[in-house]
Amino acid sequence: MNSGAGGASVRATLRLQFRGGMTLDGARALVPQFARLGISHLYASPLFAASPGSTHGYDTIAHDRIDPELGGEAALIRLTDRLHAHGMGLILDIVPNHMAANADNAWWLDVLAWGRASDHATWFDINWHVSDPELHGRVLLPFLDRPVEDAMAAGLLSVRHDGGSGLFFVQHHDHRFPLCPAGYAALLVGVGAPGPLLAAWTRVAMRAGPCAEAGAALAALRQWAATRDGDQALQQLAALHDGTSPSGRARLAALLGRQHWRLACWREAATRINWRRFFDITGLVGVCVERSEVFEAVHAYVLSLYRRGVVDGLRVDHIDGLAAPAAYCQRLRERLDALTPFRPGHAMPGGAVYVEKILVAGENLPAAWPVDGTTGYDFMDQVGAVLHDGAGAVALDRLWATCGPDAQPLDPIVKTARAQLIEQTFCAGFTHLAALLDRALCDTAEGCATHEMHDGLRNLLVQFQPYRTYFADEVIQDHQAGTAALRRAERAVFPFLAAGQCAMVARMARLLESCPDQAPPVGVRHAQLAFEHLTAPLAAKSLEDTAFYRYGRLLSRNEVGSDPQVLALPVAAFHDACAARAVRFPHALLATATHDHKRGEDARARLAVLSEVAVEWEGLVQGWFAHNGAAGGAEGPGPDRIDELMLYQALVGAWPLLALGEGTARDRFCQRITQWQTKALREAGRHTGWTRPDAAYETACARFAERLLDPGRSAAFLHQLEGFVARIAPAGALNGLAQTLLRLCVPGVPDLYQGCDLWDFSLVDPDNRSPVDFAHRDALLEQATSFAAAAAVWRTGRVKQDLIRRILSFRQHYPGLFASGSYTPVDIAGADQAHAIAFLRQHDGMSLLVLAPRLPLGLGVGADTLVLDHTPDITLRLPSLPGPWHSLLGDVPPCVDRPFMRGGVPVACLVHDARIP
């Protein structure tokens, strides 16, 4: 299911990261450049009001306004006016799953102030009935940098009054925790507040919740606080609750005990938190967008922007975080469809919806979701895998096996990470799920063997592979995939359990796969939802944020949406995936880079070449292991073999095409590498980590990397590294052109990440979110030349930009060919057939023949020009199409069925128009 005209009208998107220097008016200035490149829709990162100073916008504090730091709605209108003037639209990234958990979020603040009496108490995913008696009916706030008693004694918790809002709060560094207004009278009476003010707050206390009287009382409090007597009284109030004295500490502790929240050290979040976070980020609280009133509040403004023609499509962040994704997508589609007839006549065709969803092997986007497709991680995996050489697996595995006992296959690494995360990061969610399952499964008189259930549940979670099931969604849909996933996990668990535990796991699995049309009890529904809310972050954290940094066979396959244990994808399987997308989601986004990628698309393309020269790479690295003196060297105990191997790959992938020389450029590159290295080491959690960093190991690793990059100390290593990169870089560039060409031409909508029209050798964030030199890119566009001339200076990246510009220009003139055209794989014959991927797109008499290079090192191209030094033995088996062909990338080859020729760049995009005689 998809939006029809809305999705079909999206021809090519460009993802732009706002904040970090990019404002809406800054984007407005870039619109002509994007239009010249051939982009149809700007694809914006979140624009709604976010925490002050936010670098990404995913920490929303209000859904009803554009962030003033970006320029506000007026600047958004100026941007969209410019987009419309160039025939372009806007797709907006929205975040319905979570919001910032801080005092800038008025909804969250209201919940903390009033507790369950707040109008927003059910808007956030809070467990008000947790078994911990201290937290029953309260919210845990694990934001302190030390235990609460120590924080009080150190004077780090102080009672303050906000003169602007009139509210009292407890301050801890940058955090503000609001005091319940029902207790203001008790605070004020001790400092001699005027009788009428005390009476006003007494009336508020009697209401015990948000009320009209509170507004008048706040106005009176603000007025009194502005007087000299009021100011002195409030200073006295703060002094009375000064935790550095025993009496003040006792008063402060009593005050804290009367609140609807409980403060705690941040380390307690994993074990005690009673509200859903985004993954393990305590600064982001889960939103119950499945509730109709919450949905309306979250979406009212963006839907008004859609109706007004300001926004034309939506990208939904982290769809698997929602309680009921199918119901959400259907509600969103209904609202968009209902508003579409009311959009102004000048508006672009609208209604496209894309969801950020990771699909594991064999998983499809649920048919019950009426969306246009995913944001493109599935394609990023497919196009990356098809450019790898499966024959390299033997040598790469052999090299990996020499890296020590931790150098295991991926599967045990992931499962070990899952088990660790359950114990260390998500234990509160696990305990909550276990309690729900206990209540749902067991007769209250009989009870359950809790330890058996906990063991079984823990093992089931470790073995469960997809991000989640969707049984808790109220929409009646096909649950075969979810049932199969649970059954596979159940079978995988049995060998590790005793007989009694096996029976328990079977009972749990049957309960978790209860379909909504079977009307399971509400307790079962709660258990299913808790399971699904736990498996999604568990899957992401165990693979992407942990195993990707522990498993180092070949880092080009350690990418979001990918399965690193699958080194290569056969060409036939790639074609099958493209054909399936053409049928099910022809307007899905196709990405090769995102704001979340682990390394740039061209760094991955270069590293893919290692699969072609795996034996040579193995020998090279073994020599570096022997001579570079990593473990136990002068720098200290590190890095070990795994971290050393990953460092070498990072260097090969990110090594610049132009000589580093000395000074600033080399220092900057070294800084980027060590910044990546520190993050990689901490994410891996083998020797160091985010919560307990091992400074000695991190320093030793950084010093080792710095030594490797110092020509004065590592001349021999740098000579080898630079020579090796220089040899494989042209093949890496061809891989980069291949994945770009495929993204532009296979079924779907090509998405270009900011700056990636030139070579992208970035590392993980924040490196991949660095400011882009758009002026340089604009100048290159203005100097557009022939494709062959651009290839002759390929190190500048102009050849990639030229390829994008030419294909997108053709898409603009023939949109039907790409939106509705057929996709037909073309058979390839000849001894070099493994070195190409070919297909036809055909529609209304128009044919587009695409031939992309594959395993390019074996093709033999010039290091400076990318042209072939011989004619490969590649022959296409084409249908009979009489008449002339036209090339989008230069001259038409003498034989269309042999488009790769000596002296030419091995990239072909040929057009045949049967309507022209």
DSSP string, 840-851: EEEETTEEEEEE
Phi, psi of 823 (to 5 degrees): -125, 115
CA angle 828, 832, 835 (to 5 degrees): 80
Task: Read off the pLDDT band of 784 (50, 70, 90).
Answer: confident
Q: Please give the Cα distance from 352 to 192 (Å, whole number).
A: 61
Is pLDDT at 448 greater than 70 in this prediction?
Answer: no
Q: Please give the Cα distance from 873 to 900 (Å, whole number).
A: 9
What is residue 889's predicted lDDT score, i.e. its pLDDT? 96
Is pLDDT at 1 greater than 50 in this prediction?
Answer: no
Cα dist from 602 to 459, 574, 754, whole Å: 39, 20, 14
**Token duo for residue 339:** 């508003």
What is residue 660's predicted lDDT score, i.e. its pLDDT? 85
First to last CA, the chain: 39
Is pLDDT at 915 greater than 90 in this prediction?
Answer: no
Q: Where are the alpha helices (DSSP H) in 115-268?
A: 148-153, 184-189, 195-207, 212-225, 228-240, 246-257
Phi, psi of 63 (to 5 degrees): -95, 5
Q: Which of 522, 496, 495 is nearest to 511 (CA)?
A: 522
- What percent of the chain stands above pLDDT 70? 98
Is-contact 284 58, C-beta < 8 A?
A: yes
Q: Please give the Cα distance from 209 to 212 (Å, whole number).
A: 10
The one-letter amino acid at 473: D
CB-based burial, 295-333: b 16+ in 10 Å, e otherwise: bebbbebbbebbbebbbbbbbbbbbbbbbbbbbbbbbbb
Residue found by looking up tokens 């052999």 in the block: 398
Which are the contacts of 883, defined by CB distance < 8 A and separation ≥ 6? 912, 913, 914, 916, 917
What is residue 8's predicted lDDT score, i.e. its pLDDT? 86
What is residue 355's predicted lDDT score, i.e. its pLDDT? 98
Q: Which of 238, 355, 278 is nearest to 56 (CA)?
A: 278
Mean pLDDT in residue range 843-864: 96
Mean pLDDT in residue range 202-211: 90
Is pLDDT at 227 greater than 70 in this prediction?
Answer: yes
Sheet of strand 98-100, all strands in order from the earlier edge strand to the far edge: 98-100, 281-286, 277-278
Task: Give the three-state DSSP class for 178.
Answer: strand
- Average pLDDT across the chain, whole number: 95
Residue found by looking up tokens 């109220």 in the block: 474
Q: Please give the Cα distance from 550 to 552 (Å, whole number).
A: 6
Per-residue pLDDT tens for 157-181? 999 999 999 999 999 999 999 999 9
Cα dist from 102 to 20, 48, 531, 731, whole Å: 21, 16, 27, 49
Task: Give the three-state DSSP class for 172.
Answer: strand
**Token duo for residue 831:** 């001894």
Residue found by looking up tokens 């005209």 in the block: 5
Mean pLDDT in residue range 864-875: 95
**Token duo for residue 248:** 């003040």
Eight-state DSSP code of residue 612: T
What is residue 194's predicted lDDT score, i.e. its pLDDT? 95
**pTM score above 0.85:** yes
Per-residue pLDDT tens for 26-39? 999 999 999 999 99
Is-contact 224 204, C-beta < 8 A?
A: no
Per-residue pLDDT tens for 612-636? 999 999 999 999 999 998 876 556 6
What is residue 745's predicted lDDT score, i.e. its pLDDT? 98
Mean pLDDT in residue range 853-876: 95
Domains along the chain with CATH numbers: 5-97+290-375 (3.20.20.80), 106-281 (3.30.1590.10), 408-551 (no CATH), 609-726 (1.10.10.470)
CA dihedral 91, 96, 100, 104 (to 10 degrees): 80
CA dihedral 126, 206, 167, 139 (to 10 degrees): -20
Task: Read off the pLDDT band of 446 (50, 70, 90).
Answer: very low
Per-residue pLDDT tens for 574-599? 999 999 999 999 999 999 999 999 99
Task: Read off the pLDDT band of 517 (50, 70, 90).
Answer: confident
Phi, psi of 846 (to 5 degrees): -100, 135
**Token duo for residue 792:** 């002759």
Task: Read off the pLDDT band of 662 (50, 70, 90).
Answer: confident
Task: Read off the pLDDT band of 602 (50, 70, 90).
Answer: very high
Is pLDDT at 369 greater than 80 in this prediction?
Answer: yes
**Token duo for residue 259:** 């609140």
Q: How far is CA 871 from the centre of its chain?
A: 42
277-278/281-286 β-pairing: antiparallel
168-172/749-753 β-pairing: unpaired
What is residue 5's predicted lDDT score, i.e. its pLDDT? 59
What is residue 500's predicted lDDT score, i.e. its pLDDT? 77
Phi-psi region of 3 (alpha: psi -120 to 50; beta: other; left: phi over 0): alpha
Which are the contacts of 119, defined by CB distance < 8 A and separation ≥ 6? 110, 210
What is residue 501's predicted lDDT score, i.e. its pLDDT? 85
Q: Please give the Cα distance from 128 to 150 (Å, whole number).
A: 27
What is residue 447's predicted lDDT score, i.e. its pLDDT? 47
**The dihedral of CA 310, 313, 318, 321: what is its sign?**
positive
Is-contact 313 89, C-beta < 8 A?
A: yes
Contacts within 8 Å (CB) and 24+ apart, 189-193:
190/237, 190/240, 191/233, 191/234, 191/236, 191/237, 191/240, 192/233, 193/224, 193/230, 193/233
- What percent of the chain stands above pLDDT 90? 91
What is residue 445's predicted lDDT score, i.e. its pLDDT? 39
**Which burial class, exposed, middle or buried, applies to 348 when counting CB atoms under 10 A from its CB (0-12, 13-18, 19+)?**
buried
Task: Give the three-state DSSP class for 176.
Answer: strand
Is pLDDT at 3 greater than 50 in this prediction?
Answer: no
Mean pLDDT in residue range 104-109: 98
The one-letter amino acid at 670: C
